[in-house]
């Protein structure tokens, strides 16, 4: 899995990635098995990121926005803000091929380089095993705000980097 990063398939996000990454986000959320969240949460989660918002994330100097690429196409993205990992999404068509791991590893490396000893995140329930497999400790239940009146249950996680 580490060879993905070393083959430079992970790079900084660019404005021209925004549309493809909005599709990645939408597809990744659509593929979450129905047992984890009720339809109204999945729907709000799926619609929570437009390509315009994706572009604004990439332009935000406070965020490190990384993109995973395969055969010239954007297949995943990850986002770091300080010591907080804000997102890791991989298109389900490229799932279980190590892209999520490679993105996570690159974000952790960047956090370490910025002087942080620990990173934190809020994991969607479906993704919790992915983070545990990647060395994260489950700190207990939390909530992630989707919009003013809707939030989704998640797991708060941390890892020493
Ligand atoms: C969670 C997600 C990012 C994982 O990306 P991925 O590229 O498929 O993950 P990787 O291939 O790097 O997986 C690495 C290891 O993590 C574990 N893992 C990954 N996805 C898993 C899952 N859904 N359930 C259990 N373990 C999982 C496996 O051990 C895997 O290794 P293996 O395939 O050799 O068994 C991706 O499934 C996704 O985008 N999910 C929907 C969006 C989401 O919930 N993102 C997280 C928001 S907090």
The ranges assigned to domains in the chain are 2-160
96 burial type by CB count under 10 A (0-12 exposed, 13-18 middle, 19+ buried)? exposed
Helices (H) and strands (E) in the chain, counts: 6, 7
Who lines ligand 1 at CB under 6 A?
28, 32, 88-90, 95-101, 123-124, 126-127, 129-130, 133
Kindly indicate the confidence band of residue 79, based on its pLDDT and cuts at 50, 70 and 90. Answer: very high
What angle do the packed helices 18-30 and 51-59 form, to 10 degrees?
Answer: 120
**Token couple for 67:** 């993109």
Q: Which residue's alpha carbon is at the smallest distance from atom 29 of ligand 1?
A: 133
CA of 57 to the centre of ligand 1 (A): 23
Position 83 pLDDT exceeds 80: yes
Rounded-to-integer distance, Cα 134 and Cα 38, Å: 27
Edge-to-edge strands of the sheet including 10-12? 10-12, 64-70, 73-81, 84-90, 118-124, 150-160, 137-147
* pLDDT at 7 (0 to 100): 57
Ligand 1 atom nearest to CA at 1: 12
pTM of the model: 0.95
CA of 45 to the centre of ligand 1 (A): 18
Chain segment 4-33, per-residue pLDDT in tens: 554 558 999 998 999 999 999 999 999 999
Ligand 1 atom nearest to CA at 31: 41
DSSP, residue by residue, 47-94:
TT--HHHHHHHHH-TT-EEEEEEETTEEEEEEEEETTEEEEEEE-GGG
Per CATH, is 2-160 categorized as 3.40.630.30?
yes
């Amino acid at each position: 899995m580490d060879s993905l990063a070393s083959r430079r398939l992970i790079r900084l996000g660019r404005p021209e990635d925004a549309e493809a990454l909005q599709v990645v986000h939408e597809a990744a959320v659509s593929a979450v098995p129905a047992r984890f969240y009720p339809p109204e949460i999945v729907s709000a989660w799926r619609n929570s990121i437009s390509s315009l918002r994706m572009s604004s994330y990439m332009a935000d100097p406070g965020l490190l926005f990384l993109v995973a690429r395969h055969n010239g196409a954007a297949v995943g993205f990850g986002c770091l803000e300080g010591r907080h990992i804000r997102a890791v999404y991989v298109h389900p068509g490229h799932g279980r091929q190590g892209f999520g791991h490679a993105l996570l590893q690159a974000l952790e490396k960047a956090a370490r380089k910025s002087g942080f000893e620990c990173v934190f995140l809020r994991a969607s329930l479906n993704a919790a095993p992915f983070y545990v497999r990647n060395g994260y400790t489950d700190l207990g239940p939390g909530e992630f705000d989707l919009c003013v009146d809707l939030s989704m249950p998640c797991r708060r996680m941390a890892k020493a980097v």
